[in-house]
A and B are shown apart, each in its own frame.
Chain A
């Protein structure tokens, strides 16, 4: 079963997965522009990016984490606890810098808690993060109840609502820069090679002298930090904090990563694929939105995309095997 999925990695070497994704994205783009006259509008397209950039920022380190055979289901809850912390700082009269630093450090702390529990106690990451998913979200509920925090200073709205040049939003520029950094980190540095090594065979990596647990810990902190940054942007965009903020986001984030061709069992994947998948999902949800499809029905489409995408390589392989046999 493992090998069947592992063989998928051959696909990535020749980038056919990324090309296929790009093809689908172009098709969706053309379909959308034919289906709705409102699609090909610079400001509409720019607005549409807000719906996925925050998730996409988390998807990048999540890709590394999944390549390294771990997973973090608590990201949406980390967003909530960071947002609550920032709301409290804002309420106490903290400045913008302090608020942003609070969000980022609480995120890193939450990631460090996950990483510590996973590496020190050798507990599967899925169990730990199901636990911290309840814990972090639960803490937000304890602090806020059914209340709301919204005493954010005026300039704070820039992170989620500001534009750098013209219709180019701060969020989108930030995502593109971070994506470039993660591309370099995963595909051009020793750190990236080690992540692949851990994902392919943790035991072999350990015996080759890789401090496996230190890398895994760092990846969890990185995911926490990204969730903190996403929380800054989301809170800034919404202008308020409720304990239900970003509820269920882990599903779309993991879908982005898997759609991008990252093997859920670890060992293979590329940042380019994840970035294309992010835009593809953005295009699909935006197009459905223009066609007045409600959000909950979109989740059906996303769920089907998730299952469809991981089935395709397996089905292709089965098909080839059958053709080869006859």
Chain B
């Protein structure tokens, strides 16, 4: 039991911090903990949480996907433009289209990383700029506004079923799929193997590059789906939507304890990281702090989270010969 507690220390900390913030804010404004506002927080956090799940898989295999926000924006623009052309089409087609387009964009990243052994940070830094630029080219820099989109297209994520908007169900479905993937599917287990020791993974017969490619395809598919949800939720598509959102996604993972060095990361931690950012985002206006603070706070929290999780090198100065792994890490 004690070991279990120790293993879940970060999750317990995070839950406690989130609760403390929520209670403190409730003292300031009683509206904060009402069911309406809590649903609002879940609603605000759903897209972030979905993207973070995909990003988590990528980070566990020692990669990073900086192109998710651009992928989201490009896919969002493509489905929005399709919707203006074919407003009568059933929503199923648009959702499938969004997932397929996102998947294809993710596959571009994945194949470059797998087939050419390129570092993921450089590839996705490049595709981040390329995808964003392509939005401008296909839209000529114009906006797709709400009156150009069909009613069904916009209203789907907001339709309330059993008290929750459909957007939340998309989030829950993604969560369930990722949980099943990493616990019951062979490739899902292999993700952790690739991240914690790629050399050993190769010797056990795992194609590390292929698994990495797979995580980018999944991350892309989720980003594509989120592209539709984002455009529908805010009822507008333009070049700059979700600009810089990739940092929040990575931040949520890092806060949730997903190790950037690969191999470690739990779904619960990742979700708590998203919830933490979501609660802060909702709490700031309630306690009267300008939204301009949000960026600095999330930056500070990322650093605090990794510092708390680190083993300071400075305290080990007396050791003459470090173990090799420690020397490499420092």
Contacts and interface: CB of A to CB of B under 8 A. Distances in A.
Interface of A: 1, 4-5, 71, 117, 119-124, 126-128, 130-139, 141-142, 145, 202-203, 206-207, 212-213, 251, 254-255, 258, 264-265, 294, 296-300, 302-304, 306-307, 310-311, 314-315
B122 A131 contact: no
Contact of B299 (A4, A120, A136, A314): A136
Contacts of A126: 64, 121, 260
A300 B133 contact: yes
A124 B310 CA distance: 10
A307 B306 contact: no
Contacts of A138: 292-300
Given A121-B306, A311-B112, A127 B296 contact: no
Contact of A311 (B118, B247, B293): B118
A132 B122 contact: no
Q: Which 3 A-B pairs have the closest CB atoms?
A: A138-B296, A134-B299, A135-B299
B311 interface: yes
Contacts of B247: 130, 133-134
B133 A120 contact: no
B116 interface: yes
Contacts of A203: 324, 327-328
A265 B307 contact: no
B127 A307 contact: yes
Interface residues of B, number: 54
Interface stretch (B95-103, B134-142, B145-153): B134-142
A145 to B, nearest CB: 5
Contact of A122 (B64, B123, B302, B312): B312
Contact of B312 (A121, A251, A314): A121
A315 B115 CA distance: 10
A300 B296 CA distance: 29
A117 B312 CA distance: 9
B36 interface: no
Contact of B116 (A137, A207, A302, A311): A311
Q: Is the interface of B mostly helix, strand, loop or mixed?
A: helix
Interface in B312-330: 312-314, 322, 324, 327-330
Q: Which of B129, B250, B302, B306 is packed against the most chain A CB atoms within 10 Å?
A: B129
Interface string B176-216: 00000000000000000000000000000000010000000
A294 B132 CA distance: 13
Nearest to B296: A138
Contacts of B303: 117, 128, 131-132, 135
A132 to B, nearest CB: 6
B306 A251 contact: no
B109 to A, nearest CB: 10
Interface in B212-254: 239, 247, 250-251, 254
B20 interface: no
Given A264-B121, A307-B122, A300 B129 contact: yes
A132 B301 CA distance: 10
Given A141-B293, A258-B122, A307-B123, 8 more contacts: A71-B121, A119-B330, A126-B260, A130-B250, A131-B300, A304-B126, A306-B126, A306-B129
A300 B260 contact: no
Contacts of A311: 112, 116, 118
B38 interface: no
B286 to A, nearest CB: 18
B98 to A, nearest CB: 22
Contacts of A134: 247, 251, 295-296, 298-299, 302
Contact of A141 (B64, B126, B296): B296
A146 B128 CA distance: 26
Given A130-B247, A139-B296, A203-B327, A310 B122 contact: yes
A135 B324 contact: no
A1 B119 CA distance: 9
A288 to B, nearest CB: 12
Contacts of B311: 122
B117 interface: yes
B136 A296 contact: yes
Nearest to B329: A122
Contacts of B307: 117, 121, 123
A126 B303 CA distance: 11
A264 B314 contact: no
A8 to B, nearest CB: 11
